[in-house]
């Protein structure tokens, strides 16, 4: 029971830390990093430009969502 509770608290901490109330950011970061990893294998120069661009688009999209709901 206490082990289960400990695991629950541990999982909850990581969920709040990584996902929190912005699941789109966690999902977006996963997509960007995976995309960057795949791109780096074929075209490193493209990855250098596209990874920051993906981060910017993700931030702007999430801000738009936040402004609409706020």
Partner 1 sequence: MTATVLVALSVFGACAVEMVEALTIVMAAGFTRGWRSAFEGAAAALVCLAILVAALGPALIHFVPINVLRLVVGSLLLALGLQWLRKALLRASGYKAKHDEDAIYRREVERLSAAPRSHAGRDATGFVISFKGVFLEGMEVVMIVLTLGLSSGRLLVSMAAAAAAVIVIGGIGIVVARQLSEVPENAMKLGVGLMLVTFGTFWAGEGAGISWPGADLALPGLLALYGAVALVAFTILGRGRGQAVKAGAA
Residues interacting with partner 1, by CB under 8 A?
A: 13, 17-18, 20, 22, 25-26, 28-30, 32-33, 36-37, 40-41, 44, 47-48, 51-52, 55-56, 58-60, 62-63, 66-67, 70
Backbone angles phi, psi at 65, to 5 degrees: -65, -40
Q: Which residue lies nearer to partner 1 by CB, 1 or 19? A: 19
Nearest-approach distance from CB 27 to partner 1, in angstroms:
10
Q: Which residue lies nearer to partner 1 by CB, 3 or 69? A: 69
Residues 6+ apart with CB under 8 A from 62: 22, 24, 25, 28
Decide: 25 and 60 in contact? Cβ < 8 Å. Answer: no
């Amino acid at each position: 029971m206490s082990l289960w509770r400990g695991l629950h608290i541990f999982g909850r901490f990581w969920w709040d830390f990584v996902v929190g109330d912005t699941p789109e950011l966690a999902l977006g970061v996963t997509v960007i990093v995976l995309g960057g990893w795949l791109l780096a294998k074929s075209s490193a120069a493209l990855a250098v430009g596209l990874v920051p661009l993906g981060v910017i688009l993700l931030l702007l999209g999430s801000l738009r969502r936040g402004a609409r709901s706020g």
